[in-house]
Structure 1
Amino acid sequence: MRSGNPALKESTFLDLGSGAVVSRDAGAMSLNGTVNKTGFLLLMAVATAALAWSQSVATGPDGVATATPAMVGYALGGGIGGLILALITAFKKEWSPVTAPAYALVEGLFLGAISAMFELRFPGIVMQAVLLTFGTLFALLMAYRSGLIKATENFKLGVVAATGGIALIYLATIVLGFFNINIPYIHESGLIGIGFSLFVVVIAALNLVLDFDFIESGVEAGAPKYMEWYGAFGLMVTLVWLYVEFLRLLSKLQSRD
């Protein structure tokens, strides 16, 4: 089994102590349990996102909405805190019943702040991104369940390779940014930039297929019960990535108007 999501890798569904899959008698992972926990994480993220949004935007006497100083704090704090909790969860899978909800709460602060940031500049963009994200989720889920899309080994290798390449580009962007060096074209609103964002959106969406396959495989293998939280966490990571990429793509498209 492979997944482009770094939170879901080859050894994810193995018992930490013995390297063997836990017996179903000990309490096994179920598909319904994973779905329910994914919904719970999403609700937690939405709650804190609403809080961050409300404190990131202020309406003046003239009725014009503006950003508050709290916006940057929520964006940076939520982003860094979410990354730390994601790394802890990835390395300590058995902690996921605690760290996965904590990740959802903190990541919600980040999402609320950046959503408000995009909305102030491009009114209506957040609702469009939300609809596209969940529309993509349900469309790919239906395609996967119907067998229209199959997570073959070649499919997995291609998506994983593309995901790794995108991660390297983003890492290079961050590092070069410290030296005031920008990678040309791909982060701009030109045709190359839009094409790059479209490519990233497609790869992020295809990672959902790998996540579906990985979770289903864990259920069939009788993975330990806490892996429901871990599977929900992994799916949440991909959904956050997909949503942010839709925001970027839509902002580039609207910048050309």
Structure 2
Amino acid sequence: MRSGNPALKESTFLDLGTGSVVSRDGGTMTLNGTVNKTGILLLLTVLTAAFAWSQSVVTGPDGQPMVAPGIAIYALGGAIGGLVLALVTAFKKEWSPVTAPLYALVEGFFLGAISAMFELRFPGIVMQAVLLTFGTLGALLAAYRSGLIKATENFKLGVAAATGGIFLIYLVSFALSFFGIKVPYIHESGLIGIGFSLFVVVIAALNLVLDFDFIESGVEAGAPKYMEWYGAFGLMVTLVWLYVEFLRLLAKLQSRD
């Protein structure tokens, strides 16, 4: 099986030594268990995001709200900490009952900080992004469960390739920024920039379908119980990405008004 989500790769549910599903005495992975753990991760993310948000905006000398000094610590610290924990979880899946909740807590600081900054510039944008993110999640889950969308091998290959291409573009853009070079158009609010963001949002959303399929495959294969945490973590990675991309898209659209 193939997934565009780097946290859910082909060997996730397999014992690399034997090619068979790993079994543990602690029980097997269930769909309800994965859903419950996804809910726990979402709650943890919201808690730290709310705290970071409360620390991100202060009242300026003119009485108007402004970004708090040092807020970059929450955003940068959350982003780096989330990346480190994501990598640890991806390589040590059996640690996911501990690392997945830690990832959610740390990522919440990042999301809370950037959400507050976007909201300060574009009032109402955060609620729009949240509704679009969970609306997309619900719509694609319904489409997947009804069989309207099927994760065929060609579908998986296409989404995985597009996801890899997007992250390569982001990586190059990030590296060039250290030299004062900005990739033209894609980060701007012109038609090309908006079109690029729309494309990224679609690919991020389609990754949810691959996540659903991957989790369902793990349940059917009788993966070990801790994989419920890992499956929830993989879904959270995609949801965080989708939410951030919705923020970027909405910001570009509002910048044109």
Q: Note whether the superposition's TM-score is higher than 0.5.
A: yes
Number of the residue aligned with 1:21: 21
Is contact 1:82–1:106 with CA below 8 Å preserved after alignment? yes
Q: Distance in 2 between matches of 1:15 and 1:36?
A: 25
- 1:133-148 mapped onto 2 (5 Å cutoff): 133-148=133-148
Q: Distance in 2 between matches of 1:130 and 1:45?
A: 13
| 2:118 corresponds to 1:118 | yes
Number of the residue aligned with 2:91: 91
| 2:164 corresponds to 1:187 | no
Output the amino acid matched with 1:183. V
Pairwise CA distance, 1:69: 1.7
Output the amino acid matched with 1:175. A
Q: Distance in 2 between matches of 1:26 and 1:256?
A: 54
Output the amino acid matched with 1:112. G
Number of the residue aligned with 2:242: 242
Is contact 1:85–1:99 with CA below 8 Å preserved after alignment? yes
Q: For residues 52-89 of structure 1, what are the alpha-carbon distances to aligned partners after superposition, in whole Å with 9 as ceiling and x for unaligned?
A: 00001112475421111231110000000000000000
Q: For residues 153-182 of structure 1, what are the alpha-carbon distances to aligned partners after superposition, in whole Å with 9 as ceiling and x for unaligned?
A: 110000000000001000000010011001
Aligned length: 257
Output the amino acid matched with 1:110. F
Where 1:70 maps in the other structure, the secondary structure is coil
Number of the residue aligned with 2:46: 46
Pairwise CA distance, 1:121: 0.5
Pairwise CA distance, 1:23: 4.0
Where 1:58 maps in the other structure, the secondary structure is strand
Q: CA RMSD in A?
A: 1.3
| 2:205 corresponds to 1:205 | yes
Identity over aligned pairs, percent: 85
Number of the residue aligned with 2:74: 74
Number of the residue aligned with 1:104: 104
Is contact 1:55–1:68 with CA below 8 Å preserved after alignment? yes
Output the amino acid matched with 1:214. F
Is contact 1:59–1:66 with CA below 8 Å preserved after alignment? yes
Pairwise CA distance, 1:21: 1.1
Output the amino acid matched with 2:102. A
5+ residue gaps, structure 2, are: none
Where 1:13 maps in the other structure, the secondary structure is coil
Output the amino acid matched with 1:215. I
5+ residue gaps, structure 1, are: none
Q: Distance in 2 between matches of 1:233 and 1:12?
A: 12
Pairwise CA distance, 1:25: 5.9
Output the amino acid matched with 1:246. F
Is contact 1:200–1:245 with CA below 8 Å preserved after alignment? yes
Where 2:189 maps in the other structure, the secondary structure is coil
Of 7-16 and 123-132, more deviation after overlay is shown by 7-16
Pairwise CA distance, 1:16: 6.0
Output the amino acid matched with 2:113. A
Number of the residue aligned with 1:221: 221
TM-score normalised by the chain length of structure 1: 0.97
| 2:6 corresponds to 1:6 | yes
**Residues 46, 26 of structure 1: CA spacing in aligned structure 2 closer, same or farther, 3 A cutoff?**
closer
